Structure 1
Amino acid sequence: MSDSQLQTADYADKLAPSQVQDIMNPETFVPPDNQPIPRVIIEFCDRCRWLHRATWTSTELFLTFPPPKLASVTLLPLNSDETAGRFRVWLYLSADPPILLWDRKVEGGFPELKVLKQRLRDNIQPGVSLGHSDKK
């Protein structure tokens, strides 16, 4: 069976029996279900031009915690007076309130990736070594 046939078979399970999956027909596409967990949302001030920092942070988190350890990272640009200077990293583990892993204003700066990775690890994989990121 080809890769495209396998993909079609996987998605076909989500379709109603009357629908036929066609990977080239948008009318048969199945959107993702509820947001997967664990997931991270990075809020950042767009006016401060922190998109690059947010994308770099998301890339580093995905490299350290590839799916399914970390299911998704969402970047949330903000552009209002109330969110000026914001850089927050949230962790969602369930329907419970999210866990704030980092806030730039509270912590006094941007996260050291080593510290952010350790905080994330402590919540999604306690006790697992991060290798060189755990060394002092």
Structure 2
Amino acid sequence: MADTAAAACVDCKPDTEQGSSSQVPHPPAPASSNLLDPTTFIPPQPSITPSVTIEFCDRCRWLHRATWVSTELFLTFPAPALRSITIMPLNAEDTAGRFRVWLFLDDKPPVLVWDRKVEGSFPELKVLKQRIRDHIQPGKSLGHSDK
């Protein structure tokens, strides 16, 4: 039990099913940085483009959400529209609660398509697909996702 509590994400509520009812304290943010400023985020490096990288907090157990989002994106944007989708589990204090979706295109800076903390929620697939489509296939109809 103690090992599970120690591994709990500091950004998430503790798992009450395991007998823990107290909140994990949040470390204070450095006074000189804004943790919700997307211009300070450093994207991971892709291997091929166009590609998407989904970064997620592994301690929050968001693997299923990340794989579901990647599957939906591949179904909507099959190759060559998207050539690669990487899901990247993170397990560190500075990545606690993270769920970010990055888009990488040839000869362009990476595009932060979604950040859970900045947006205030997980991505709604309709909106996420529209944002990605606007960069890789601007004229593409997304059918019911465009309505």
Q: Secondary structure of the equivalent of 1:76?
A: strand
- SS of the aligned residue for 2:70 comes to helix
1:82 and 2:85 aligned: no
**Identity score, percent:** 75
Deviations 1:48-103 (A, max 9, x none): 00000000000000000001110000011000000000000000002432000000
Aligned counterparts, 1:1-136, within 5 A: 35-135=47-147
Greater radius of gyration (CA):
1
Whole-angstrom distance in 1 between the partners of 2:105 and 2:66? 20
2 CA distance for matches of 1:48 and 1:39? 24
TM-score (norm 1): 0.73
Unmatched 5+ stretches in structure 1: 1-33
Instruction: Measure, in 2, the Cα distance between the counterparts of 1:128 and 1:40.
Output: 18
Root-mean-square deviation (Å): 1.1
Query: Within 1, Cα distance between the matches of 2:78 and 2:143?
Result: 15
Report the alpha carbon displacement of residue 127 of structure 1 after superposing the two structures with TM. Answer: 2.0
Which piece of structure 1 moves more, 95-104 or 63-72?
95-104
- Alpha-carbon separation, structure 2, partners of 1:51 and 1:101: 19
Q: Report the Cα distance in structure 2 between the residues aligned to 1:122 and 1:95, rounded to whole angstroms.
A: 17
